[in-house]
Amino acid sequence: MKSKQETIQIEIPKPLDQLSPSEIERKACIGKIMTYTLKSLTSTFVDQGFQWLLPVALSQCTDPLWPDPGASIDKRIEVDIYGKPVRTTASMIIHKLVAASTAYPKLFILSPNIRIEKAERAGTGKHIYEFTQLDFEARDATSKDIITLVEDAICTLIKDLKLDMKGELTTLCRCDTLKAPKAPFKIYDRVELEAKYGADGWEAGIAKETTQPVWVTNIPREFYDYEDFKTGKWDNYDLFLPQYGEVLSGAKREWEYAKISKKIERDQIKKENYALVLKMAKEGRLKPTAGGGIGMERLVGWIAGVKHVAETQPFPRVPGTVNEL
Amino acid sequence: MKSKQETIQIEIPKPLDQLSPSEIERKACIGKIMTYTLKSLTSTFVDQGFQWLLPVALSQCTDPLWPDPGASIDKRIEVDIYGKPVRTTASMIIHKLVAASTAYPKLFILSPNIRIEKAERAGTGKHIYEFTQLDFEARDATSKDIITLVEDAICTLIKDLKLDMKGELTTLCRCDTLKAPKAPFKIYDRVELEAKYGADGWEAGIAKETTQPVWVTNIPREFYDYEDFKTGKWDNYDLFLPQYGEVLSGAKREWEYAKISKKIERDQIKKENYALVLKMAKEGRLKPTAGGGIGMERLVGWIAGVKHVAETQPFPRVPGTVNEL
């Protein structure tokens, strides 16, 4: 069953060359908010001692994106270079685990992710087949540490932006409707939301109901998120924005060989694709970390009040629509 | 004939998981210099009124990288998504021309570029098959404007970095050897360098000779760089670092339909791959711009004094060597 929000069809943003002068003005406004947001968040992370890594585009190993109840992948891209198969980056989660365990205890990356979503998601307004995550990870951090870090970063951003970008917010009719959130944000357990909205409706339900950003914890998904085998609870956390839904996905991570190995088997994922992380875990060289990834287009989409998240992209990446640029 | 520098074989940087504790310390130092450099340059561009765009990974249209005397492409990556062929980004030059002509008169992008260089370039120390450009473009700018902007950005960066990163520069033995450059940098015409070092040796020659960053202008290459048909001179500019060679490639751009069309034909490039930019030029909607792209790994490689530019990458991308991450 599709959630109600997925069936709403939103107009597909046009490419740059087809915009009218007033649409160009609006695009420029959203662009200024993106610039402000990128500068604010990168500054916050650098000031907090995070190292800024550059992204990778092609790797032998990438995020399995499985099992993930939200995934809808039309195609996984694999090509050969120098005689070896590589995949386009779905996320840099595995890179982050290894980097945070070795030379970069606190790190972030502006990481372009490719997820060729099914074309039927074109009109949800929430899905694009290329997006950029501000992807971060910190050694020995707890979920609480990350939640506090993100709340501070977002509250500071919105507070400053409402002062400095008044003209742009006015043009976008967001001056009054964009409220500066207050930390701490409310935290829900996914189980209680499922009880209220159903297993397929809780994401849309909480996004529709809340007027503040809220956290949802304990979401069963990929092997690298920490799961307490005794209680069955997952130590992860997603941030949901009012109306706009999930904007951040994060977790405390697994680092013990036996658990990672068991979960990869349980998920029926190819072990050979995760040989390095398994080897490091077996040798005790994988460290406990926690982190997350902020979807930049969704965050700016919320701030700017767009109908379709692709409006925040200079070159829209709407599922099913391939433009020349 | 190969230039002398291309035949020197430099040790290939190891992946993160194979580094010794002292190698990890060195890697962390280089990482801190990368972070500092990214923060400094992005701040400079934002403060100068440039909008910060997010990159694209897959497009129908990308840089032909032809004719370019420095190109050595083993393979061009093309895949199908939603029934259409797309290429991995070789550079966002065409995207920049369209963006700067419409909603973003001044823009920059931290753009991951994929260029599957021939494996024989593994040991040059200068080539990697994935790198990130700080790629920028400004409407109505002249070459002089861009040269001044870049000189200011780099002089500010090195001056500040020598004060703020003393510990890291000491660890890397660069405290004394890294000299803060002084603007204006010397400008050479490629013709005079060819007369001195030969057509195949001038790039290595000027890099070896100079002790300061220098500009080289008038380099025949891709259709989008401005060429004066009367004099045969190209209005472009590359920045060369002492010992490390080319770190920035830039130009004033073509915007007139007749010239672009003629040059694409002359270069025997497929016109259908550049249909949009031709259409916009024909309709007078392509604007005069100038810009460039700074190779972040090469810039930081010079600052840190590395032997191989891949040392600046958390996940080395050495031609011919594909690691798991």
DSSP B77: -
**What does the pLDDT average to over B76-85?**
96
Residue A288 structure tokens: 């406990």
Within-domain flag for B317: no
Predicted confidence (pLDDT) at residue B196 exceeds the cutoff of 80: yes
pLDDT confidence of residue A74:
87
Question: Largest Cα–Cα distance of chain B, in whole Å?
Answer: 60
Query: B54 vs A104: CB contact, 8 Å cut-off?
Result: no
CA distance B214 to B98: 30
Least confident piece of the model among B3-17, B20-34, B84-98: B3-17
Query: A325 vs B31: CB contact, 8 Å cut-off?
Result: no
Predicted confidence (pLDDT) at residue B6 exceeds the cutoff of 60: no
**What does the pLDDT average to over B183-200?**
98
Query: B16 vs A53: CB contact, 8 Å cut-off?
Result: no
Query: B24 vs A112: CB contact, 8 Å cut-off?
Result: no
Q: Which domain holds residue B243?
A: 4-312
Give residue A70's pLDDT band: very low, low, confident or very high (50, 70, 90).
confident
pLDDT confidence of residue A244:
95
Within-domain flag for A302: yes
Query: A325 vs B94: CB contact, 8 Å cut-off?
Result: yes
SS3 A227: strand
pLDDT confidence of residue B72:
84
Within-domain flag for A321: no
**What does the pLDDT average to over B71-92?**
94
pLDDT confidence of residue B8:
66
User: To the nearest whole number, what is the mean pLDDT of chain A?
Assistant: 96
Predicted confidence (pLDDT) at residue B4 exceeds the cutoff of 50: no
Size of interface A-B (CB pairs under 8 A): 199
- How many C-beta atoms lie closer than 10 Å to residue B102's C-beta? 24
Query: B324 vs A52: CB contact, 8 Å cut-off?
Result: no
User: Which residues on neighbouring strands pair with residue A73, listed in sequence order?
Assistant: A117
CA distance B244 to B211: 11
HSE-CB at B168 with a 13 A cutoff on CA atoms is 21
Candidates A27, A81, A130; nearest CB to B56: A130
Q: What is the pLDDT of residues A13-62, one digit of tens each?
A: 999 999 999 999 999 999 999 999 999 999 999 999 999 999 999 999 99
Nearest CA in chain B to A52: B35
Do A21 and A55 form a contact (C-beta atoms < 8 A)? no
CA of A25, closest CA in chain B: separation in Å? 7
* A317 interaction partners in chain B (CB closer than 8 Å): 56
* A321 interaction partners in chain B (CB closer than 8 Å): 82
Query: B102 vs A19: CB contact, 8 Å cut-off?
Result: yes
**What does the pLDDT average to over B215-224?**
97
User: To the nearest whole number, what is the mean pLDDT of chain B?
Assistant: 96
Number of domains composing chain A: 1
Query: A24 vs B103: CB contact, 8 Å cut-off?
Result: yes
Nearest CA in chain A to B323: A60
Query: B58 vs A88: CB contact, 8 Å cut-off?
Result: yes
**What does the pLDDT average to over A217-225?**
97
In what side-by-side order are the strands of the sheet with A58-59?
A58-59, A84-88, A78-81
CA of A189, closest CA in chain B: separation in Å? 33
Query: A35 vs B28: CB contact, 8 Å cut-off?
Result: no
Closest CA to A100 of A295, A277, A279: A277
Give residue A4's pLDDT band: very low, low, confident or very high (50, 70, 90).
very low
DSSP A237: E
Q: What is the pLDDT of residues A132-187, one digit of tens each?
A: 999 999 999 999 999 999 999 999 999 999 999 999 999 999 999 999 999 999 99
pLDDT confidence of residue A3:
46
**What does the pLDDT average to over A222-250?**
98
Q: What is the pLDDT of residues B308-325, one digit of tens each?
A: 999 999 999 999 999 999
CA of B189, closest CA in chain A: separation in Å? 33
User: Which residues on neighbouring strands pair with residue B251, listed in sequence order?
Assistant: B236, B291
* A134 interaction partners in chain B (CB closer than 8 Å): none
% of chain B exceeding 70 in pLDDT: 97
SS3 B165: coil
Q: What is the pLDDT of residues B232-274, one digit of tens each?
A: 999 999 999 999 999 999 999 999 999 999 999 999 999 999 9
Least confident piece of the model among B5-19, B36-50, B195-209: B5-19
Within-domain flag for A18: yes
Query: A39 vs B52: CB contact, 8 Å cut-off?
Result: yes
Q: What are the residues whose beta carbons fall under 8 Å from the beta carbon of A112, sequence distance 6 or more?
A: A55, A57, A89, A130, A131, A132, B54, B55, B56, B57, B112
For residue B208, report the phi and psi dihedrals to the nearest 5 degrees: -75, -40
CA of B95, closest CA in chain A: separation in Å? 6
Nearest CA in chain A to B24: A103
Which residue, chain included where needed, has tokens 């994060």? A250
Q: What is the pLDDT of residues A38-49, one digit of tens each?
A: 999 999 999 999
Distances (CA, A) of B232 to A240, A284, B70, B220: 58, 63, 20, 9
* A322 interaction partners in chain B (CB closer than 8 Å): 60, 81-82, 84, 86
Within-domain flag for B325: no
Chain A interface mutation, best of B92, B224, B324, highest count of A Cβ atoms under 10 Å: B324
User: Which residues on neighbouring strands pair with residue A319, listed in sequence order?
Assistant: none
**What does the pLDDT average to over A297-305?**
98
pLDDT confidence of residue A2:
42
Give residue B2's pLDDT band: very low, low, confident or very high (50, 70, 90).
very low
CA of A70, closest CA in chain B: separation in Å? 20
* A114 interaction partners in chain B (CB closer than 8 Å): 57-58
Give residue A7's pLDDT band: very low, low, confident or very high (50, 70, 90).
low
Predicted confidence (pLDDT) at residue B131 exceeds the cutoff of 60: yes
CATH number at residue A296: 3.30.930.10
Query: B314 vs A42: CB contact, 8 Å cut-off?
Result: no
* B323 interaction partners in chain A (CB closer than 8 Å): 60
Candidates B53, B57, B324; nearest CB to A57: B57
